[in-house]
Amino acid sequence: MKAFIHQKDNWPEFTWNSNDFLDLLSEARNLQGRLIGKMETLGFDLRNEALLDTLTLDVLKSSEIEGEFFNPDQVRSSIARRLGMEIAGAVDSDRSVEGIVEMILDATQKCFEPLTADRLFDWHAALLPTGRSGMYKITVADWRKDTTGPMQVVSGAMGKEKVHFQAPNSDLVENEMTRFINWFNNYKTDLVIKAAIADLWFVTIHPFEDGNGRITRALTDMLLAQADKSNQRFYSMSAQIRLERKQYYEILENTQKGNLDITAWIVWFLNCLINALKSTDSILKKVLFKADFWQKHIDTPINDRQRKLLNFLLDGFDGKLTSSKWAKIAKCSKDSAVRDINDLIEKAILQKEPAGGRSTNYELIGMPAGNNISETWSNHTSKREYFKSRK
């Protein structure tokens, strides 16, 4: 029995009923236009702040979907360096962080350049600089070889595994990818719909031994950037997919086990995109709050240590701020940290958090709630607990 769509006789001749999603497409396009218009009213520095926050969120969440959790400060610093931005508290980044940042920026900043096999190989090599996936050596910068058996998505205990999906055999991948790349570069349709199709098609081929999900989302971002007619990203599909990951896996599995009518998949994709576009308000609020904060305090006496820590808080400080953390980050004594904090409390800039505890925590007065790109980066449930063998 032909269980998966790539085994159908007319693969990959996808079909869909446009009437089922025209309203959703119109809403997504309207939200895209409004967001781009809103960003154009901001100054250069504010747009860069929003761009940096969005790209940082995109890299973090795309990795989290795969069960990888990066230090947000490393991701933010890597992106800022590559974009020529100066930020407070820049740190060095691991090779794995640098690799995914390099791929995302190549996909979005050079979104109008053609896709090629070599470009995909470069992305793959950047993602997996050690040539290993965990403990296992893998083929990097080339199509998968399936030397250890077919590429499968499996869950369940050993001996009771459930196969959710099996990719095309490795000897078919080169031809499959030649057809996909030609379509990606030349097929003419609405670019948002094209992004939905590309997302499904690429992850179904699963051309690499590892990194397929992250590369899929990079390709989606590339086409959405083309749809926006801008290489600046102000919303993150990866962040929204991370929130909707259970529904994502369900619709992906159902579509891959269905026929080539992918209307339901496109409907899900458009709803996810609409939610991603709507969620940008939290990023914009934070960016605008930071700009207003420094404008408000342009004449307020603030020393270098205080300025550094305030920027940490404004950019989304990871965890609770205590006097001990202040001293460590500012590289000063505990007494100096306490004096810095008390001075800012007197100036109505900081306040003690209401919740008590063994240590006193401090927060910025008026800091808007919302997406903190740094939050809980090390304490999520791994996606590999959901799909044990997904690559």
249 a known binding residue?
yes
Element (H, E) at 149: none
Q: Tokens 């990023």 correspond to what residue?
A: 283
108 a known binding residue?
no
CA 164, CA 161: separation in Å to the nearest integer? Answer: 9
Burial class (CB in 10 A: 0-12, 13-18, 19+), 34: exposed
185 a known binding residue?
no
Residue 338 makes CB contacts below 8 A (sequence gap 6+) with 323
Closest-CA residue to 320 (of 347, 344, 352, 291): 352
217 a known binding residue?
yes
Coil, strand, or helix at residue 364?
Answer: strand
210 a known binding residue?
yes
Structure tokens at 14: 């996808």
Closest-CA residue to 120 (of 89, 137, 144, 136): 144
187 a known binding residue?
no
Closest-CA residue to 105 (of 54, 61, 140, 141): 54
205 a known binding residue?
no
Q: Are residues 205 and 168 in contact, defined by beta-carbon separation less than 8 angstroms?
A: yes
CA 359, CA 319: separation in Å to the nearest integer? Answer: 13
316 a known binding residue?
no
Q: Choosing from 6, 124, 164, 206, which is the catalytic residue?
A: 206
228 a known binding residue?
no
To the nearest 5 percent, what fractions of the chain are helix, strand and coil? 55, 5, 40
> For residue 226, what are the CA distances in angstroms to 32, 36, 184, 222, 269?
12, 13, 12, 6, 17
Closest-CA residue to 323 (of 335, 308, 307): 335
Q: Are residues 330 and 304 in contact, defined by beta-carbon separation less than 8 angstroms?
A: no
248 a known binding residue?
yes
Question: Cα-Cα-Cα-Cα dihedral of 101, 104, 105, 109, to 10°?
Answer: -170
Per the annotation, the verdict on 206 as an active-site residue is yes
CA 57, CA 377: separation in Å to the nearest integer? Answer: 11
Q: What is the largest CA-CA distance in the chain?
A: 74
> For residue 269, what are the CA distances in angstroms to 240, 246, 247, 263?
10, 14, 11, 10
Which residues carry a binding-site annotation for ATP?
Answer: 210-217, 248-249
Which residues carry a binding-site annotation?
Answer: 210-217, 248-249
Active-site annotation, residues: 206
